[in-house]
């Protein structure tokens, strides 16, 4: 299995500002995923990040709002830009195992926008 850490674990931010969330994995992985979990809801995939290429965004999510970096095989960042209260969510980083039949999740970043 993979051990995933995220920073920060939580933050309270003012509207109009940006926050960058870091995801660190203890092993090299090809694909990393960023999810959003709004209060009381399920997980929604924001984007898939492969090392050395542009992230692939899901419908409803755009690069200007959620820029992603993937500089190497163990690290990624997600930035939530120009935040509004509607961005208040838990943001989760995830990776696949080698067999691509299992995903591991980080502990999440709980974001509150005031």
**Sites for other proteins among residues 30-89 (CB under 8 A):** 41-43, 45, 48
Q: Which is nearer to other proteins, 69 or 96 (CB)?
A: 96
Tell me how far apart the alpha carbons of residues 11 and 16 are, in angstroms, rounded to a whole number.
14
Q: Is 4 in the site for other proteins (CB under 8 A)?
A: yes
Q: Please identify, among the stretches 15-23, 61-69, 81-89, 102-110, the one whose residues bind other proteins according to the rule CB under 8 A.
A: 102-110
**Member of 21, 32, 92, 95 binding other proteins (CB under 8 A):** 92
| Structure tokens that stand for 1 in this block | 């299995």
Q: Is 110 in the site for other proteins (CB under 8 A)?
A: yes
Per the CB < 8 A criterion, the answer to whether 80 and 15 are in contact is no
Tell me how far apart the alpha carbons of residues 94 and 104 are, in angstroms, rounded to a whole number.
5
Q: Which is nearer to other proteins, 20 or 38 (CB)?
A: 38
Q: Which of 95, 47, 41 lies closest to 73 in space, CA to CA?
A: 95
| Structure tokens that stand for 8 in this block | 């920060």
Query: Cβ 108 to other proteins, closest distance in Å?
Result: 5
């Amino acid at each position: 299995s993979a051990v995933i850490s995220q920073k920060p674990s939580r933050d309270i931010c003012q509207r109009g500002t940006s926050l960058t969330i870091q995801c660190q994995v203890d092993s090299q992985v090809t694909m990393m995923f960023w999810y959003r979990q709004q209060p009381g809801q399920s997980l929604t995939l924001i984007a898939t990040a492969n090392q050395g290429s542009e992230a692939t965004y899901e419908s409803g999510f755009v690069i200007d709002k959620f820029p992603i970096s993937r500089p190497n095989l163990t690290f990624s960042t997600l930035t939530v830009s120009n935040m509004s209260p509607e961005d208040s969510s838990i943001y989760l980083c995830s990776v696949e195992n080698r067999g691509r039949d299992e995903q591991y999740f980080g502990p999440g970043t709980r974001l509150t926008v005031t």
